[in-house]
A = this chain, B = another copy of it.
Amino acid sequence: MPKVVDHDQRRAEIVLALWQVIYLQGIDGVSFRSVAKAAEVSVGRIQHYFSSREEMILDGCRRMVAAAVADHGPTELPEHPRAARAALTAVLSASLSDGDEFRMGASVWAAYQAKAVSSPRIAEIVVDALAERASLLAELVATARAAPGEESASPTEADHAEALHLASLSEGLAHRVLVGAMAASEARRLLDAVVGRCMAAGSASVLCSPGRDGAR
């Protein structure tokens, strides 16, 4: 019987080595040779699976997005406001971690983000991922804001704006945590406070104490 080769598994192993190279040497340090060395396979094996250095780098970017969605996204959209709010907070805080096991992935993702500025093909993948994230968050905002028992409606323009606000905020916070400018716990507390305010605008909020509204 012929040996069954799981090609997708092989590609995934090569991509793991690719990420190690990006982590240690940046995207510009990627070559068939450097990835082959990190994967402990021959250059020919890498070339069998990837037709070019660029294809390999792009595949690594797509797989990183897919892994993040699998790790952080809700498996299905919650129907109830309370569940939606919990999912909203979970999605927003998923990248706020300062654990070491988190560092490599976050660092490689940061390298892709930086490279997206000058590489249109990486930008395309990053932009799609950012848009997907914003639109998932808009769905969650709309459902979280619905009254209990109310049918959850499609997101309004205000829900989309709120989603972009929260998405960008959590991306900015994730970066501050990643470089060590902020503790993950502090970033999570701040995010919770802002989500609270977004869900209850008009009433007391944690960030702007209501007693001073008149004076302010």
| Nearest-Cβ distance from residue A139 to partner chain B, whole angstroms | 15
Please measure, in the bound complex, the distance between the C-alpha atom of A118 and the C-alpha atom of B100, giving whole angstroms: 11
Are A201 and B205 in contact, with the CB atoms below 8 A?
yes
Instruction: State whether the Cβ of A130 lies closer than 8 Å to any Cβ in chain B.
Output: yes
Are B178 and A117 in contact, with the CB atoms below 8 A?
yes
Chain A: residues with CB nearer than 8 A to chain B?
23-29, 103, 106-107, 110-111, 113-118, 123, 126-127, 130-131, 145-147, 150, 158, 161-162, 164-165, 167-173, 175-176, 178-182, 187, 190, 193-194, 197-210, 212-213, 215-216
Q: How many copies does the complex hold?
A: 2
Please measure, in the bound complex, the distance between the C-alpha atom of A25 and the C-alpha atom of B27, giving whole angstroms: 9
Of chain B, the residue at the smallest CB distance from A131 is B181
Are A107 and B113 in contact, with the CB atoms below 8 A?
no
Contact A165 B190, CB 8 Å, known A110-B117, A203-B213: yes
Please measure, in the bound complex, the distance between the C-alpha atom of A30 and the C-alpha atom of B80, giving whole angstroms: 53
* Given A150-B215, A203-B213, 8 extra CB contacts under 8 A: A28-B29, A162-B208, A164-B182, A165-B207, A171-B172, A172-B173, A199-B208, A201-B213
